Amino acid sequence: MEKLIEIKNITAIYDVKTVLNSVSLDVWENDFLGIIGPNGGGKTTLLKIILGLMTPVSGEISFFRDGKSIPSLKIGYLPQINPIDKRFPISVFEVISSGLAGEKPLFKDFTAQQKENVNELIIKMGLEDFSKRAIGELSGGQLQRALLARAIVSRPRLLILDEPNTYVDKKFESRFYEILGEISDNTAVILVSHDIGTLLPMVKNVACVNETLHYHPGTAVSDEWLSNTYACPIEIVGHGDLPHRVLKKH
């Protein structure tokens, strides 16, 4: 299996507070990595470093293709809170197409194949009735689906999602996770979530970030590992085949 990203001994500091301390992590082709951890533990900081939005004070990050080091990697990103202005007069089709802007020649239209790819994603996301509508007419969940489509339309080698279920409407939630599973067949995925019960049935490997990073291959995660890495006792409460909530023990 090909390595996509190698993170070595990353340390990150905000003001005088150490957020990440000597963190190392490898991300592999077609991996589906779940990242968990308490609020303020450094999960989003780690994502920013991978995305090149933040520079660590020490350590290094490397990207690879065909076993050779490359300067950057094509990454799709769906942030927890998206700053998009719903008052902006842009349609769902145009929002998703904007994910291909870097591949379109200046002053030229998208190719027929690119437009077809956009339309296929619109159908996959259940947005075919909203294709020409302005984004201001969408619910929060519908907008999140459109933004997910924008993140993957360029077929990135890695997709990063930060708490994606925050705005997904409940009636589409199960289909949303099915789509993520389909994406992970051809694209490496990093999924950050505080909801361990939802995350564990989906991912292949787990990392807990709480200033340091603890990596757990596979998803047979024990209560002891969770308690030790979270630095507090927690338990998973399940309902049926898809547990979906994590509670601290009081």
User: What confidence tens digit (pLDDT) does each residue in 130-168 have?
Assistant: 999 998 888 878 888 899 999 999 999 999 998 877 666
The parent domain of residue 102 ranges over: 84-155
The answer to the question of residue 206 being in a domain is yes
Question: What's the CATH code of the domain at 58?
Answer: 3.40.50.300
**Which of 135, 155, 175 is a domain's end point?**
155
180 closest CA partner among 149, 210, 209: 149
181-202, pLDDT tens digit by residue? 888 888 999 999 877 777 778 8
> How many domains does the chain fold into?
2
Looking at the fold, whether 7 and 122 belong to one and the same domain comes out as: no
**Which of 155, 182, 197 is a domain's end point?**
155
Looking at the fold, whether 66 and 92 belong to one and the same domain comes out as: no
**Which of 115, 137, 155 is a domain's end point?**
155
Percent of residues in the chain assigned helix, strand, coil, to nearest 5: 35, 30, 35
Looking at the fold, whether 229 and 174 belong to one and the same domain comes out as: yes
- Checking if the pLDDT of 249 tops 60, the result is no
92 closest CA partner among 67, 129, 61, 60: 129
Looking at the fold, whether 214 and 189 belong to one and the same domain comes out as: yes
Residues 122, 128: Cα–Cα separation, whole Å: 6
Looking at the fold, whether 19 and 117 belong to one and the same domain comes out as: no
A 10 A CB-CB count for 105 gives 8
Strand partners, 31: none
Confidence of residue 232 (pLDDT cuts 50, 70, 90): low
Which amino acid appears at position 186 of this protein?
Answer: N
- CA geometry: angle 70, 61, 226, nearest 5 deg: 130
